[in-house]
């Protein structure tokens, strides 16, 4: 079994009855990561809240910063702690979406059908940008992480055949998002054979950097969720069976689901308790279970 022995994680992780023992912590990602022991996880697969897009109705939430620079800085702090939790040959697969400047508009109409879908305000235009500029949020974060010590190894284009429609007439409609592969060290674990694809000549070849995967809405979630097919290559290439896969923005639990179905254990962190229960119900449908844990003054305690 790869990674550290489960017994060495006490009191942070407890043994479980299921073959792939896993845990989800309720709390702030930065605070929880600070309490986790070092070098526990082999890979991280995650998608933080996008800047200025959705209101998750939590105090001081990531993504609600007025300045994109503050958003980037907060993510750097979170992923600095995550880097400590990764093994020395560990990796981070990071999905981020982009946005455009508001053009001077400071509010947007609420979505009556889904209040959590959109912020009620628009962040001001960042310094140095103009109305209608593409902000370049993913690359701002990637370069900041690179400057903080991460190795920026690859940009992967998630091509969406079924993107949300955009009523724009002065630019192409968006149909992709970005996934970055970052590593903790110069040399790291990457199982390229596990994710090879078939070329035009019928022979296996290294996976290319454009991945075509349809979006898959998840009933009951008032926020975006990973399509399982999108992150399966990340987990297969970034970890071995038995390893821990971590997602500090667990949401509906897609990372945990895909990890468990492929023989990995997972650690999740989620700030909203109702999302943890939503993830539990979802994963239980596949025979996957996990323990929930809370942050206490004495440390992280598994229920």
- Interval 236-286: pLDDT, tens: 999 999 999 999 999 999 999 999 999 999 999 999 999 999 999 999 999
Other beta carbons within 10 angstroms of residue 205's beta carbon come to 12
Other beta carbons within 10 angstroms of residue 285's beta carbon come to 8
Place of tokens 């690179």: 146
Say yes or no to pLDDT of 221 above 90: no
Most distant CA atoms of the chain, gap in Å: 59
Domains defined for the chain, CATH in brackets? 6-302 (3.40.50.150)
Place 297 in a pLDDT band, splitting at 50, 70 and 90.
Answer: low
Place 111 in a pLDDT band, splitting at 50, 70 and 90.
Answer: very low
Say yes or no to pLDDT of 4 above 50: no
What phi and psi values does residue 47 have, to the nearest 5 degrees? -140, 100
Say yes or no to pLDDT of 205 above 50: yes
- Interval 5-63: pLDDT, tens: 444 444 444 333 333 479 999 999 999 999 888 999 999 999 999 887 665 566 577 87
Least confident of 59-73, 182-196, 240-254, 288-302: 288-302
């Amino acid at each position: 079994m790869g990674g550290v022995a489960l017994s060495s994680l006490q009191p942070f992780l407890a043994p479980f009855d299921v073959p792939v023992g896993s845990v989800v912590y309720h709390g702030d990602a930065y605070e929880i990561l600070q309490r986790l022991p070092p070098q526990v996880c082999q890979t991280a697969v995650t998608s933080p809240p996008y800047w200025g897009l959705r209101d998750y109705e939590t105090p001081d939430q990531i993504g609600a910063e007025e300045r994109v620079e503050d958003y980037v800085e907060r993510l750097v702090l979170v992923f600095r702690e995550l880097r400590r939790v990764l093994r020395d040959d560990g990796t981070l697969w990071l999905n981020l979406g982009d946005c455009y400047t508001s053009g001077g508009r400071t509010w947007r109409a609420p979505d009556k059908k889904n209040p959590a879908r959109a912020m009620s305000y628009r962040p001001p235009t960042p310094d140095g940008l103009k109305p209608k500029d593409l902000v370049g949020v993913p690359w701002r974060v990637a370069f900041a992480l690179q400057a903080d010590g991460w190795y920026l190894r690859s940009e992967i284009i998630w091509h969406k055949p079924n993107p949300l429609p955009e009523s724009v007439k002065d630019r192409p409609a968006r149909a992709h998002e970005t996934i970055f592969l970052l590593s903790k060290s110069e040399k790291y674990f990457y199982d390229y054979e596990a994710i090879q694809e078939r070329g035009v000549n019928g022979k296996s070849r290294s996976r290319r950097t454009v991945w075509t995967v349809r979006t898959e809405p998840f009933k009951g979630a008032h926020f975006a969720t990973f399509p399982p097919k999108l992150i399966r290559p990340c987990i297969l290439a970034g970890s071995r069976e038995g390893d821990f896969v971590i997602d500090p923005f667990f949401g509906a639990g897609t990372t945990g689901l895909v990890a468990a179905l492929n023989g990995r254990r997972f650690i999740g962190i989620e700030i909203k308790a109702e999302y943890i229960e939503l993830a539990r119900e979802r994963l239980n449908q596949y025979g996957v279970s996990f323990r929930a844990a809370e942050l206490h003054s004495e440390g992280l305690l598994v229920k």
